[in-house]
Structure 1
Amino acid sequence: MEEWEILSTDSKLEKLCALHTDLTDAEVQLLKHVASSLQMHADLTDSYMFIDCQIKDSEYAIVVAEAFPKSNDSVYENSVVGKIVFDTFEPGVFYSFRKGKKSQIRHAVTQEGHTVEQNVVPIKNAMQQVIGVLIQEKKVDVPVVYQDERQPPLFGQESIEYVLGDKNDEMPAISNLLMEIFLLTDDEDKLIYANPVGVKFITEMSRTEEIRNMNIIDLLPFLKTVYDQPEDVFVFDLTVDRKNLIVKKVRLRKKDRLTGTLLIIQDITELRTKEKELKMKSVVIQEIHHRVKNNLQTVASLVRLQMRKGVSEESKSYFEDTLNRISSIASVYELILAKENADDDDVNLIELTEKICSTMVLNELHKKVNLIIRPNGNKILTSSRKAVSIALIVNELVQNSIKHAFPADMAGEISVIFYSTQDFLELHISDNGVGIKKPKSSLGLEIVHNLVVNDLNGEFRYLPEDRGTHAVITFPVSPEVSIFYEKEDIDSGG
């Protein structure tokens, strides 16, 4: 008997949560409060009550508390506290974990083979995050259906027997078509059936073709761990001879007598190999982003060095413009590298715009300019490729406003506003400065025009204003430009 098994209910719950979860002390106390009333609910409803918590860094869950009704006909013969719970066998539990919603299964089957009605309710903390699930299971009496031999068989029975194989000399057609390995052993663990994939697997792993009625442990010694598990239903991950396997064991019983064991084995070696390749690819992509960012910083340092060596006042502004452009592009890669997932190169346009604009305002501290950025409730994501184009566009237009809209000590305001319709995104950059009657041709405006037309497939224009300037960039929403969490769609009407 394990040490924790003799602990009190509260102590078991605390110890299991400390060993297997990342729950805080406050969250554990909340679970203890729920667990304190489990027995009362079990007796009141004649149901089996459980609390499951998700295991940290895992897709599995663990039973941390239970209460059985005082009944003679018990569904569970032994305590299941501390048992691992798998998604394959408890879909309702994991639905509630993922969705944070109640789930109900009217005919669930326990690992002991009893049919129960299962209700699952998520337990949430103060932040409305799911920290566990409360499970109620009530035994369902399934009536035995007797069939008159003179009557025809139940609908579809002959067809399903043909497909699965009803006689000893019939090979189940379904298992022949599946890539999973199906093995069936008798009550003495001797192999009595293997589908074609299974036969190939056993002969390769055991290096023998004499497999019929042989002890499965003698043929595949690594399965001893699986067979030694007392649970009737068990899932196990194995690595054997560079093969990654998921083994599902189901013990078959008839009137509580063991009649055999069914093994379903998935060879996920290729999947694991691809996962490793993807991880390596992620590392390479992240390294590329690092190098691009570092190279941009190197170029910026060279430009600053050239400026310190002395440039004319006429040329100085051109160097500063170049530095701002380099900084804008570098901002894209800084945001990507700040993410936990290296594969995700989508960039949040609102964050990008705030980063670019705040840098420019800080570089112009002598200017009395307020910067306003309005996302209008939108979370706008775009690919790194398009993000670089938008970064340069924002840089050029905001930079123009800072430089030319507010001469001398004139105070003012620059607004960067995002509007959206179902199909288009509009970026409005405006100021309340001195304004321009007709935009003059310049390198900056030429850059903006080319990027909008060629990279964004959009349109760039100025809107007439009584005061200041108002530039509008319109481009289509696409797989590379997506909008989420919109409070409302706003059409600029421009």
Structure 2
Amino acid sequence: MKPVGIPGHRHLWYNINNEPCKNIGQDGITSMTSLLTQEQWDILDGMRSNLGLAADLAQAKISLILPLDRSRQLCASAAKLSGKRKAKAGGDICFLSVFDQAEPLTRSENTEPEEMTRAADEPLMTQALTENTVTEGFREVAPGQFARLKVYPICDGHNRCFAAAAFEDREADVVFWDATMDFLNGSKTDYASNSCYRRLSSIDGLVLVNARDGLILAANNAARHIYRVLGVGHLVGRRTSSEEINWNGIDNVLYTGTAEEQELQKKGLFLDFRFIPLHAAGSIERIIVVIEDVTQLKLKDEELRVKAAVIREIHHRVKNNLQTIASLLRLEQRRAASEETKVVLRDSINRISSIALVHEYLSGQGTELVDINELGNGVYRTVMSSMKTPDLELEMKFSADNLRLPSQQAASLALVLNELLQNALEHGFENRKKGTLTATISRLDEDGGNREKLQGKAAEAAQYSGNAKKETTDRLLLLVKDDGVGLPAGFDLQKAKSLGLKIVQTVVQSDLKGTFTLEPRTDGSGTVARVVIHI
């Protein structure tokens, strides 16, 4: 059965439902947790939930060890002993099994844990379990290579030892091991929902504070480096209430009894502090302080905010300039004597307005993605207001899927939609008193289908070719349909002289890398324009 569980852990005994497995290992070992009390199981469950963070705090590989008897079943916990004697793991310990294991993210060696080993091969672990005492020494991890090993017994509320936590590291920086074991002893499964208990990076500072008097007991190299930059030469021995330290988060944690996170700015540095209380005998004895230098993140965030504001301002100015050009063309349109000139100017105004709509949208957003539904509706309203004649009773419909496209694609699509609507209004309803004009923008299914199945030549056109990237599967379909007079006899799109259709062909093929067809409707009179592009 494949180990599953929290990322960064080596889980050995959990199935896909995160429950203890009934059969363990390749030898078909029977359930090892059946002899655990509910309290003991809750203790182990809390520890495994936070084992990754514990490994980061200790900067060591941590293994949770369970004792097995000769039949490879979990040794029953000893009955509570009288007086001050400690309760040892009951039964003869013959094997040791890894319940869970985690390594620090900063120094993970990616070694696979041994699921089971003989107790005689691990004397320090066996001694910790049998004598219910902390053991310490060295363990040979490879020929001639030794790692420091410290093993802590894990006991329930009756002081019965039923498991052990083994800390192991070759670099032997053990200053935070005792504090980390205190953290594990108080671990709860609900810590995972608290951001204060997220894992550490290699550059995070780590400080251990005595909760009673605020005295700094230990600090790692990263913490010392951060405060050297701030002009504080020595951290250890200082009090957190001193002027150069001044961590008021310590008082807040002592008052609430829960972990807290604060962000402070000191001499140009942005520092994120996490204050994690260590409980012992019902009170907070020590506090672990995690210090993360987030200065570069803050500077990058500010840089991005400035860039976003500049980009929005550029879009705003481009929109204003385009609208000014459109206004000037409207003045020329009113003064033009030739009807042909008026039509040319009107078409140009609509084209400019369609592009201006894209920049108007981007000037008010913090993203370079454009909502196609909103943009398409804007283009649709602009064209209809400028070209619909009073004597034409026209039923107009526009719909679009919830899609967002990059600004360059959106601008090209807006121009194409504008041209197709103009073409339909200008040529589709000559000598007509009423009609229907619909436009839809939708995402194509992987098999090429959408709300309306592609038929005939359009189905062939929808097969992406030419400059298209064949590995792309997401496609977008723009449909503009009318029930007007239809196409003239012998119409050939490739030979059409209409400027609008030339613009559509050029934009679709060159900018959008798509296909464009214009043909008679198969379900009645009129014309249907289809544009298929990859997104």
- TM-score tier by shorter-chain length is 0.5 to 0.7
CA distance in 1, matches of 2:176, 2:397: 78
Q: Which residue of 1 aligns with 2:449?
A: none
Q: Which residue of 1 aligns with 2:525?
A: 467
- 2:441–2:478: 8 Å Cα contact kept in structure 1? yes
* AA in 2 matched with 1:369: L
Q: Which residue of 2 aligns with 1:431?
A: 482
Q: Which residue of 2 aligns with 1:347?
A: 370
Residues 98-132 of structure 1 show CA distances to partners (whole Å, capped at 9, x for unaligned) of: xxxxxxx99669xxxxxxxxxxxxxxxxxxxxxxx
162, 179, 184: which one aligns with 2:168: 162
- 1:182–1:264: 8 Å Cα contact kept in structure 2? yes
- 2:276–2:287: 8 Å Cα contact kept in structure 1? yes
* AA in 1 matched with 2:430: P
* AA in 2 matched with 1:395: N
Q: Which residue of 2 aligns with 1:390?
A: 413
- 2:206–2:288: 8 Å Cα contact kept in structure 1? yes
Q: Which residue of 1 aligns with 2:265?
A: 239
Alpha-carbon spacing, 1:153–1:184, altered in 2? closer, same or farther (3 Å): farther
CA distance in 1, matches of 2:361, 2:177: 61
Q: Which residue of 1 aligns with 2:89?
A: 147
Q: Which residue of 1 aligns with 2:384?
A: 361
CA distance in 2, matches of 1:374, 1:252: 59
Alpha-carbon spacing, 1:205–1:348, altered in 2? closer, same or farther (3 Å): closer
Percent identity of paired positions between Structure 1 and Structure 2? 26
Q: Alignment partner of 1:223: what SS?
A: coil
CA distance in 2, matches of 1:170, 1:407: 87
CA distance in 2, matches of 1:169, 1:234: 20
Q: Which residue of 2 aligns with 1:444?
A: 500
Alpha-carbon spacing, 1:241–1:356, altered in 2? closer, same or farther (3 Å): same
Structure 1 position 146, deviation (Å): 4.1
What are the residue-to-residue correspondences of 1:56-455 with 2, within 5 Å?
146-147=88-89, 151=93, 155=98, 158=149, 160-163=166-169, 178-186=202-210, 187-208=212-233, 210-218=234-242, 220-227=244-251, 229=253, 230-232=255-257, 233-338=259-364, 342-363=365-386, 364-366=388-390, 367-375=392-400, 378-419=401-442, 420-422=444-446, 423=473, 424-437=475-488, 438=491, 439=493, 440-455=496-511
Which protein has the larger Cα radius of gyration, Structure 1 or Structure 2?
Answer: 2
Higher RCO, 1 vs 2 (CA within 8 Å, ≥6 residues apart): 2
- 1:192–1:213: 8 Å Cα contact kept in structure 2? yes
* AA in 2 matched with 1:179: I
Alpha-carbon spacing, 1:303–1:456, altered in 2? closer, same or farther (3 Å): same
Structure 1 position 295, deviation (Å): 0.7
Structure 1 position 345, deviation (Å): 2.4
CA distance in 2, matches of 1:415, 1:176: 56
Q: Which residue of 1 aligns with 2:512?
A: 456
Alpha-carbon spacing, 1:197–1:394, altered in 2? closer, same or farther (3 Å): same
* AA in 2 matched with 1:396: E
* AA in 2 matched with 1:470: V
CA distance in 1, matches of 2:268, 2:174: 37
CA distance in 2, matches of 1:177, 1:409: 72
Alpha-carbon spacing, 1:269–1:409, altered in 2? closer, same or farther (3 Å): same
- 2:230–2:266: 8 Å Cα contact kept in structure 1? no
Alpha-carbon spacing, 1:359–1:445, altered in 2? closer, same or farther (3 Å): same
- 2:516–2:530: 8 Å Cα contact kept in structure 1? yes
CA distance in 1, matches of 2:411, 2:176: 67
Alpha-carbon spacing, 1:347–1:251, altered in 2? closer, same or farther (3 Å): closer
Residues 148-174 of structure 1 show CA distances to partners (whole Å, capped at 9, x for unaligned) of: 69847763675851239585599999x
Residues 374-410 of structure 1 show CA distances to partners (whole Å, capped at 9, x for unaligned) of: 43xx312211111111111111111111111112452
* AA in 1 matched with 2:236: R
Unaligned runs of 5+ in 1: 1-104, 110-142, 479-494
CA distance in 2, matches of 1:404, 1:395: 14
- 2:518–2:527: 8 Å Cα contact kept in structure 1? yes
* AA in 1 matched with 2:482: D
Structure 1 position 308, deviation (Å): 3.4
Q: Which residue of 1 aligns with 2:118?
A: none
CA distance in 1, matches of 2:340, 2:200: 80
Structure 1 position 176, deviation (Å): 10
Q: Alignment partner of 2:299: what SS?
A: helix
CA distance in 1, matches of 2:44, 2:283: 27
CA distance in 1, matches of 2:321, 2:178: 64
Structure 1 position 334, deviation (Å): 2.5
Structure 1 position 258, deviation (Å): 4.2
CA distance in 2, matches of 1:381, 1:177: 35
Alpha-carbon spacing, 1:310–1:427, altered in 2? closer, same or farther (3 Å): closer
Alpha-carbon spacing, 1:239–1:337, altered in 2? closer, same or farther (3 Å): same
- 1:350–1:379: 8 Å Cα contact kept in structure 2? yes
Unaligned runs of 5+ in 2: 1-42, 48-78, 81-86, 102-124, 126-148, 151-165, 181-198, 447-472
Alpha-carbon spacing, 1:431–1:253, altered in 2? closer, same or farther (3 Å): closer
Alpha-carbon spacing, 1:222–1:310, altered in 2? closer, same or farther (3 Å): same
Q: Which moved more, 1:216-225 or 1:286-295?
A: 216-225
Q: Alignment partner of 2:497: what SS?
A: coil
Alpha-carbon spacing, 1:167–1:195, altered in 2? closer, same or farther (3 Å): closer
- 1:189–1:261: 8 Å Cα contact kept in structure 2? no
Structure 1 position 336, deviation (Å): 3.0
Residues 23-51 of structure 1 show CA distances to partners (whole Å, capped at 9, x for unaligned) of: xxxxxxxxxxxxxxxxxxxxxxxxxxxxx
Structure 1 position 355, deviation (Å): 1.8
Structure 1 position 448, deviation (Å): 0.3
Structure 1 position 260, deviation (Å): 2.0
Q: Which moved more, 1:345-354 or 1:269-278?
A: 345-354
Q: Which residue of 2 aligns with 1:114?
A: none
Structure 1 position 217, deviation (Å): 3.2
CA distance in 1, matches of 2:439, 2:501: 17
Tell me the C-alpha RMSD between the 2 structures: 3.4
CA distance in 1, matches of 2:262, 2:174: 31
CA distance in 2, matches of 1:402, 1:417: 16
Structure 1 position 371, deviation (Å): 1.3
Structure 1 position 457, deviation (Å): 0.8
Structure 1 position 369, deviation (Å): 1.7
- 1:202–1:220: 8 Å Cα contact kept in structure 2? no
